[in-house]
A and B are shown apart, each in its own frame.
Chain A
Amino acid sequence: MASETLTSTAYIKHHLQNLTFGVHPDGSWGLARGAQEAREMGFWAIHLDTMFWSVFLGVVFLWLFRKAAKRATSDTPSGFLNFVEWVVEFIDDNVRGSFSGKNDMVAPLALTLFVWILLQNTMDLVPVDWIPLTTQKIAALFGADPHHVYMKVVPTTDPNATFGMSFAVFGLMLYYSLKIKGPLGFAAELTMQPFAAKNPALKMLFLPVNLFLEGIGLLSKPVSLSLRLFGNLFAGEMIFILIALLFSGGVILGLLGGGHGAPRTLRRTFQSHLKLQIRRKKWKQHCSTLPVRSCWAWPVSVWVSVLACWAHGSSKALPVSRSFCRCFAPSSLS
């Protein structure tokens, strides 16, 4: 495994690289074998890991909720159906709170956004090395160089995913704006406020100013929302990678923190009892060099920080899906 020879910077960079498939500059199709090649591919490339995990999680969400929807009755709900109904009612309340118009699409959109983002963020909870290392092992079996196999499991840490979502919402918003208010009404909304005047001459004078202000407001919505989600999740992912680096020493901490050095320590675990005892002594020495002396304080603190990071990341799912909904708020859809 290359982990022994990896520097921290290389490790982090490796973790931040998507599995990119696209056209090489020489015209051939294939996987990018590094950040440089991925960059050179330009726009005509696709992040296989982001697409796979997001679609996989989306399908999981749809499958679970569809199963519940099929069983939905007006009788007493039970088990999973109860949970699903709770989520649906929660979303419904939230949508009703921020969007008073009547539209059959806004609430399902909010539900999809909420659960999908939540699931994607929850991928953060999987220790950062588990899936990438497994993928590398499997790829190595097929003869690929494991060092060039990338796997980023949290789709929301890819700006493509968050921008993809926000552009889709933005497109829908424009479509419904035009459909409900008509092209003239929509244009009037962009050019006749916030500065309004009765005088036609003044109106013409205000037109570019209004268009500028409203245009910024309109365009900033998808950009700010997707950047917000991406930024939060990227920061969370970064913290996890750093935690994983911090705990590259021991098997327990390695597994909990992410296991940068897991293969090495796992091999040791399966050695003889005597050697294990020796390892334990070494482990104790290792612990004594860490800021917190107690070996057990570490796993606990790791999990606390893991949960905190996850809660932080997940707590973004609601405000973001709410804000997406607010794009449909009466001001833009009245």
Chain B
Amino acid sequence: MNINMTLIGQSIAFMVFVWFCMKYIWPPIMNALEQRKKTIADGLAAAERGKRERELGKQRATEVIKEAKGKAVEVIASAEKRGAEIVEQAKTDAKLEGERIITAAYAEIEQEAQRAREALRTEVAALATAGAEQILGKEIDTAAHAQMLDELATQL
């Protein structure tokens, strides 16, 4: 148990070991550890982000679906309303059209009747003239008696 040069030898050996460890062992292992730590942290962060994004997407999807549903209900309601309106409109139109047709028909009938009456009147005048001629045995000057005949015709 003497203190001798072994002391110095041990010191030098130890220094060399520490230097080697500091140069060639510690940095690569620490680097690998740091890198792995970073990779894992990144992975976890990405997972977290993905989770949050999925959550957001889910939320957005729910919102969109809800909105779509609301819109659909609205569309259906408005369509129903519109349909009812159209039906109503059609009814009114049809009624009006019917009335119009009826009015026109009446007018035509009236016109026809007027025309028939006119024809009849002329006929009657001719008949009357012919009768009178027969009766009188002579020709009636149509021109001379036109006024009288017209008066007659109007009286008919």
Contacts and interface: CB of A to CB of B under 8 A. Distances in A.
Contact of B9 (A46, A69, A92, A116): A46
Given A108-B22, A164-B9, A62 B17 contact: yes
A37 to B, nearest CB: 11
B155 interface: no
Given A50-B10, A160-B10, A69 B29 contact: yes
Contact of B6 (A50, A66, A70, A73): A50
Contacts of B29: 65, 68-69, 72, 84-85, 88
B interface bracket (residues with beta carbon within 8 Å of A): 20 to 34
Main secondary structure of the interface of A (DSSP, over half): helix
A47 interface: yes
Given A62-B25, A108-B22, A159 B3 contact: yes
A107 B26 contact: yes
Contact of A51 (B3, B13, B15, B35): B13
Contact of A165 (B14, B30, B38): B14
A interface bracket (residues with beta carbon within 8 Å of B): 35 or more
Interface string B25-63: 110111111011011000000000000000000000000
A317 B4 CA distance: 24
Contact of A164 (B11, B30, B36): B11
B2 interface: yes
B21 A159 contact: no
B18 interface: yes
A43 interface: yes
B1 interface: yes
Contact of B3 (A85, A107, A160): A160
Contact of B30 (A16, A44, A92, A159): A92
Interface string A51-84: 1001100100110011011101111010000001
Given A54-B13, A167-B11, A108 B25 contact: yes
B34 to A, nearest CB: 8
Contacts of A44: 4-5
A163 B17 contact: no
Contacts of B39: 74
B25 A111 contact: yes
A321 to B, nearest CB: 12
B60 to A, nearest CB: 36
B13 A43 contact: no
Contact of A43 (B4, B11, B33): B4
Interface in A211-240: none
B28 to A, nearest CB: 4
Given A41-B4, A84-B29, A161 B22 contact: no
B17 A61 contact: yes
B22 A58 contact: no
B106 interface: no
B21 A108 contact: yes
Given A74-B39, A116-B17, A111 B26 contact: yes
B13 A46 contact: no
Interface string A84-123: 1100110010000000000011011101100010000000
A160 B7 CA distance: 4
A188 interface: no
Contacts of B25: 62, 65-66, 69, 108, 111
Interface of B: 1-11, 13-15, 17-18, 20-22, 24-26, 28-33, 35-36, 38-39
Given A45-B6, A66-B24, 18 more contacts: A43-B3, A46-B4, A46-B9, A54-B13, A62-B20, A62-B25, A66-B25, A69-B28, A74-B35, A92-B30, A108-B25, A116-B14, A155-B10, A160-B4, A160-B9, A164-B10, A165-B10, A168-B14
Interface of A: 16, 18, 20, 22, 38-39, 41-47, 50-51, 54-55, 58, 61-62, 65-66, 68-70, 72-75, 77, 84-85, 88-89, 92, 104-105, 107-109, 111-112, 116, 155, 158-161, 163-165, 167-168, 171
20 contacts: A22-B5, A39-B2, A41-B4, A42-B2, A46-B5, A46-B6, A54-B13, A62-B20, A65-B21, A69-B28, A74-B36, A77-B32, A85-B33, A88-B26, A104-B22, A108-B18, A111-B21, A160-B4, A165-B10, A165-B11
